A and B are shown apart, each in its own frame.
Chain A
Amino acid sequence: MGMKKSVIAALFLVLILLPASSLMATSVYKVGGIFSSTGRASFLGDPEKKTMEMMVEKINAEGGIDGHMLEAVIYDSEGDPAKAVSAVNKLIHKDKVLAIVGPSTTPTTLAIVNFVERAQVPLISCAAGVKITTPVKPWVFKTAQSDLLAVAAVYQHMKNAGIKKIGILTVSNSFGESGKMQLLDQAQDFGIEVVQVESFGAKDTDTTTQLTKIKAASPDAIVCWGTNPGPAVVAKNVKQLKIDIPLYQSHGVASPKFIELAGDAAEGIILPTGKILVTELLDDKDSQKKILEGYQTDYSAKFNSNVSGFGGYAFDAVNMLANALKGSNGDKNKIRLALENTRNHVGATGEFNFSDKDHNGLSPEAFVMVEIKNGTWKLID
């Protein structure tokens, strides 16, 4: 009888432990995603969401991470900070994710930073704002290039071209204001003097007044900082006023749409862009070229549409997160440390070198300067 009891007890133990241990072996790593996949910023969030889904599928098809399948829980913030906050709370408390990718925009990211810091969940944002990672917050990383780097790339090009005096024309929204701040802050470092500062409304139909004022200050070049369609109006107005000094634009218009909008007026415009836009023009020795081509092939095969730089931010975030998850055994602090120690990671956006002082990890080389020639992009040094 005693033996029978112990056999039953042993069987019980096995029954209890078996599912648990078999669960352990196949337990999934849950990661969260918050993207503005609909709404005004859907041009950012939609490719990011698709990219994350594609990457997770790919990682799982290759056997997951240390035998763990990945599961992505993705919420739509609609570009609304309040919705991003409710999404982050769901991810942290209900879904209990190991890390979060996104959100897509600077305001939605800044809204949730405190929540992930308090809950100690690693966050890799896909937004560009400098404020996200300066000052450095232990649990917050980002993959998008800051406008700080874009301005540095533009100024470096100007310095090489011998441009000393510039007039700047920025759109009066958060993108333009942030660009204006960087343009004014960094000018001195490159020996450049800003002789005229003007702004225009995002929906203005004409900017000739501002350009006339800039022209009167006789600068060597004009920098326009905005997102479509305003900069295309500026480009047209510059041609109409016959202002024949170089016109620089921001990475905010680095898309074929800008060339389509500005038409002939786009000729000769110089702007910084992520390498994804000019993949086929890159030198074969460029370490990013293969990665960009791979991403492009996978993405267009799956979604039948072209890649954008924005999807690239999610591509890098998921890749670095997957690397950090390896050997972490699901420990969030280990994931955080692994992210912080990521060095020489060549991604779609650039080469990442994170450290405890830099949670963006990119250098101005993440941008290349291009000139618009014959309705297409041409790489310049």
Chain B
Amino acid sequence: MQEIIQYLFSGITTGAIYAVIAVGLSMLYSSTELINFAHGEFVMIGAMSMVTFWVHMALPLPVAIGCTLALGCALGLLFERFAIRTARNPQPIVLVIITVGASIFLRGTGMIVWGKDPFSVPPFSNHESLEIFGAALLPQSIWIVAAALLLAGGIHFFLKRTLTGKAMVASAVNQKAAWLSGIPPERMAVLAFAISTGCGAVAGIFIAPVTMSSYDMGTILGLKGFCAAMIGGLGSLWGAFAGGILLGVLESLGAGLISSGLKDAIAFILLLLILYVRPGGLFSAKEAKRF
């Protein structure tokens, strides 16, 4: 019994990481209908910038987080301006391939800037792990869950309750109609990218203390985040959050109860099953609801 609780906690720890990544991916999808395969690289940039700003330059934690966030948003802005918007044939498949190319570029740049060695970052709050029913829960996991919830909640509020957010969704639904009603689609796209990559950087900031950061950490994290977003239903922020936690818990239970060698296989088989039964994901936002 105690083990099962520990598996659940471990699952929530990893799941929260997937969730916070999935929220950023899902946000971009719901405001531009684009899947950014370079999202994992922005997570890497977030984590590695924390190493630079907080560990190496010894800036105070809030300043380091601010700098990292600004860097993440700024890079997203440049990414949209120079890689996405310049595409002559902006079909979804072309743009997706551009993001794949960008991920390779960013990973290579990360290697040149930070080298190939991994780095570690101390936890934000230096507490012992909490003991609940004899199972240990890391304080940093609570930080990550809180970050994921706040991000999902904040973006949800932004998209549904503010004029800019609504305009952003509108230009995703129908760019021409949005343009006709006075919304500048380009500015919306740039904003969506900056917010999404900023979310990626936030994910990196909170993940850095639980794991080791290196230039090549982004690929697998991005993929897992993508899976989480798919499970929850792309475009649904709460779905992304729930999907992440679910994926983490499934992985952990699979490793704990069956075999750690099959950990990833179990998670991906379940992902396939879920998508087979509910192709739109568990919490898929119905297209009609948009209007």
Stretch from A6-14, A62-70, A200-208, A298-306 that touches the partner: A200-208
A240 CA to B10 CA, complexed, in Å = 11
Q: Say yes or no: B120 contacts A208, CB within 8 Å.
A: no
- Over the window 195-237 of chain A, the binary record of Cβ atoms lying under 8 Å from chain B Cβ atoms (1 yes, 0 no) is 0001111010110111011001000000000001100110000
Our pick among A172, A213, A229, A240 for the contact of B136 (Cβ within 8 Å) is A240
A218-271: which have CB < 8 Å to B?
228-229, 232-233, 240-242, 257, 260-263
Answer yes or no: A43 CB below 8 A from chain B CBs.
yes
B7 touches A212 (CB 8 A): yes
Indicate if the CB atoms of B255 and A233 lie closer than 8 Å.
no
Bound CA span A241–B116, Å = 29
Q: Is the CB of A213 within 8 A of B212?
A: no
- Cβ < 8 Å to B, chain A residues 137-178: 172
Interface residues of B in 96-118 (CB under 8 A from A): 116-118
Select which of B3, B7, B116, B211 is within 8 A of A43 by beta carbon. B116
Partner of B17, one of A43, A200, A205, A261: A205
Indicate if B264 sits at the interface (CB-CB under 8 A).
Answer: yes
When the two chains form their complex, are residues A201 and B263 in contact, meaning their CB atoms are under 8 A apart? yes
Which residue of chain A is the closest to B136 with respect to CB atoms? A241
> Which B residues touch A198, using CB under 8 A?
255, 260
Is B143 part of the binding interface, using a Cβ–Cβ cutoff of 8 Å? Answer: no
B contacts with A: majority SS: helix
Known contacts A213-B3, A261-B118, A262-B120: does B256 contact A205 (CB below 8 Å)? no
- Complex-state Cα separation, A186 to B214, whole angstroms: 34
Q: Which residue of B lies closest to A241 (CB)?
A: B136
Are B260 and A242 in touch, CB under 8 angstroms?
no
Residues of A within 8 A of B116 (CB): 40, 42-43
Q: How far is the CA of A213 from the CA of B211 in the complex (A)?
A: 20
Complex CA–CA separation, A205 to B212 (angstroms): 7
| Chain B residues positioned under 8 Å from A203 (CB to CB) | 216-217, 220-221
Residues of B contacting A241 with CB < 8 Å? Answer: 6, 129, 136
B:135-179 near A, CB below 8 Å: 135-136, 138
Contacts A228-B118, A241-B136 given; indicate if A205 touches B210 (C-beta within 8 A). Answer: yes
Q: Report the nearest A residue to B17, measured CB to CB.
A: A205
Complex contact A212–B212 (CB within 8 A): no
* Beta-carbon contact of A240 and B138 below 8 Å: yes
Q: How many A-B residue pairs have CB under 8 A?
A: 86
Residues of B within 8 A of A213 (CB): 3, 255-256, 260
Interface size of A by CB at 8 A reads 29
In the bound complex, residues from chain A placing their C-beta under 8 Å from that of B13 are 206, 208
Contact B207 A205 (CB under 8 A): yes
Residue B11 at the A interface, CB < 8 A?
yes
B120 touches A260 (CB 8 A): yes
Which of A203, A206, A260 has the largest count of B CB atoms less than 10 A from its CB?
A206
Does chain A have a CB within 8 A of B36?
A: no
> A263 near B122 (CB under 8 angstroms)?
yes
Judging by beta carbons under 8 Å apart, are A212 and B10 in contact? yes
Give which listed residue, A201, A206, A257, contacts B264 with CB less than 8 A. A201
Q: Report the minimal beta-carbon distance from B220 to chain A, rounded to whole angstroms.
A: 5
Tell me whether B255 and A209 are in contact (CB under 8 A): yes
- Of A42, A198, A263, chain B has the most CB atoms within 10 Å of the CB of A198
Task: Report chain A residues within 8 Å CB of B220.
Answer: 201, 203
Q: Is the CB of A257 within 8 A of B7?
A: no
Task: Given A199-B261, A213-B256, A240-B138, answer yes or no on A205-B120 (Cβ-Cβ < 8 Å).
Answer: no
For the complex, give the distance between the alpha carbons of A260 and B119 in Å. Answer: 8
Q: CA separation between A201 and B9, bound complex, in Å?
A: 19
Q: Do A208 and B136 form a contact, CB below 8 Å, given A200-B260, A201-B264, A240-B129?
A: yes
The docked-state distance in angstroms from the alpha carbon of A198 to that of B258 is 11
- Contact present for B217 and A209 (CB under 8 Å): no
Task: State A216–B251 Cα separation when bound (angstroms).
Answer: 19
Contacting residue for B260 out of A40, A205, A209, A257, CB 8 A: A209
- Chain A's nearest CB lies how many Å from the CB of B252? 5
A242 touches B136 (CB 8 A): yes
- The answer, yes or no, to whether B196 is at the interface (CB within 8 Å) is no
**CA gap between A206 and B120 in the complex, in Å:** 14
Query: How far, in Å, is B42 (CB) from chain A's closest CB?
Result: 17
Which residues does chain B contribute within 8 Å of A172, judged by CB atoms? 261
A302-355 interface with B by 8 A CB criterion: none
Q: B31 within 8 Å of A by Cβ?
A: no
Asked if residues B3 and A206 are in contact (CB atoms below 8 Å), the reply is no
B284 at the interface (CB under 8 A from A): no
Can you list the 9 inter-chain pairs with the closest CB atoms, starting with the nearest?
Answer: A229-B212, A205-B211, A229-B118, A208-B10, A212-B6, A209-B10, A209-B252, A198-B260, A240-B129
> Knowing that A198-B260, A257-B118 are A-B contacts, what are 6 other residue pairs whose CB atoms are under 8 Å apart, sorted by A's residue number?
A212-B135, A213-B255, A228-B118, A241-B6, A242-B129, A263-B120
Could you list 23 A-B pairs, sorted by A, with CB under 8 Å? A42-B116, A199-B260, A201-B220, A201-B263, A205-B14, A205-B211, A206-B10, A206-B211, A208-B6, A208-B13, A208-B136, A209-B252, A209-B255, A210-B256, A212-B3, A212-B6, A213-B256, A229-B118, A232-B120, A240-B129, A260-B120, A261-B212, A263-B120
